[in-house]
Chains A and B, each alone.
Chain A
């Protein structure tokens, strides 16, 4: 039930924003995540953004993983 999906913020109007994901557009409340800017990715649960996604962290997770799998491929 607490499914939450990443969406990209495309427009901000007051406490609401418009966000989109794979061509789907939704109106999303920003009450819980201050300082969101257009272009940010947020994680959306039941019509509210609950956190801003951190691209740097995502890339780091992946590169750590790939380092690990590179070793996996070598051995």
Chain B
């Protein structure tokens, strides 16, 4: 194989300085996929095999996090350009969703249950945290199941779970709606902002705004979907796709697999993250998701309205749909002045091209969603100093 000798552990290989303090050394799921030796060897292979400039998109915010958190960028050649895609659900949720949340919060018997990530996202009239300061009952939950537990304990209030997330998270929301039905719980609702990943990937490729040579596909979305949703990218559009995990070894191996596909002039959907992703995905989770939700046109911050990209609660489950508690909202999906999140999410601008970045807009006082979300590109660039 065409790989150079392993480079000495010099400053380039900052990963060798991670401290490996896992109590169970035999644990292959943790240590092995962070092993500095493997990371350095893979990086060397990438440097050796890359035969010219290449632009790859990591679709998923968690991949962007791994690249920066583990310092992988510094191990990679500059000719390898990495773009962050629309893969953080918090960032792509448009303002009109937050406007619905604001209307719900005006209802004094409503308790909003939200993942922590959503709290600081600035909407047109402030964030969820501002709503809480102004007296709304906003509770942070780590799981949709926890929101249902609250509802069962306090039947006099209406509990609304703010359901955002892609295929990874939507089946959980579907499961909790079924649980609510089984428990005959009449005070539990979901405001669905769930979305699916392949339509925006198609939109990005078809817009032609950025030239993308291949996709690092989201591992945890694919745990549910399997490899089928990306096949059109490989087969129709000729784009190499690799479904990768999130540890440093996973990310680098995924990138190497993409480079090899291009070197061999192939485009296929390959799975690097085989320990978690089966080609057929998780059929049980998908079946549940399809029973509760149907696909509908939906708005994305940065990408506008995309056909059949959102998940709406089906009529059969309308009793659990929080949208029935408020009038329909019609506001433009994007209206935060000065923020260029909409360009960043399409891969056509980087955070430091935003005049507000790092000065007016910082993680503690975010002006746009990409700074408010932990996995937002602006937040990652700010925290990891790029």
Contact = CB atoms under 8 A, between A and B. Distances in A.
Contacts, number: 148
B3 A47 contact: no
Nearest to A53: B275
B42 interface: yes
Given A4-B168, A57-B275, A72-B4, A31 B175 contact: yes
A61 B284 contact: no
Nearest to A29: B145
A47 B171 CA distance: 12
Given A1-B90, A2-B166, A75-B5, A32 B274 contact: no
B276 A45 contact: no
B145 A72 contact: no
A65 B288 CA distance: 36
B184 interface: no
A51 B253 CA distance: 22
B37 interface: yes
B117 to A, nearest CB: 5
B29 A58 contact: yes
Contact of A32 (B38, B115, B282): B282
Interface in B152-187: 164-166, 168-169, 171-172, 175, 178-179
B249 interface: yes
A72 B44 contact: yes
A51 B44 contact: no
B62 interface: yes
Interface size class on chain B is 35 or more
Chain A at the B interface: SS class: mixed
B19 interface: no
Nearest to A59: B28
B217 interface: no
B370 to A, nearest CB: 13
Contact of B284 (A6, A32, A53, A73): A32
A55 B172 CA distance: 24
B284 A72 contact: no
Given A4-B168, A4-B220, A47-B146, A53 B276 contact: yes
Interface string A1-27: 111101000000000000000110000
Given A46-B169, A51-B276, 17 more contacts: A2-B89, A2-B221, A4-B223, A6-B30, A29-B145, A31-B175, A32-B175, A45-B168, A47-B145, A47-B172, A50-B172, A51-B282, A58-B275, A61-B272, A61-B274, A66-B38, A72-B41
- 4 tightest Cβ-Cβ pairs between the two chains A and B: A47-B143, A72-B3, A69-B41, A2-B168
25 contacts: A1-B88, A1-B165, A1-B169, A1-B374, A2-B60, A2-B218, A3-B62, A22-B22, A23-B23, A32-B288, A33-B284, A45-B172, A50-B172, A50-B220, A50-B285, A51-B276, A53-B29, A55-B28, A58-B28, A65-B38, A69-B3, A72-B1, A72-B41, A72-B45, A75-B1
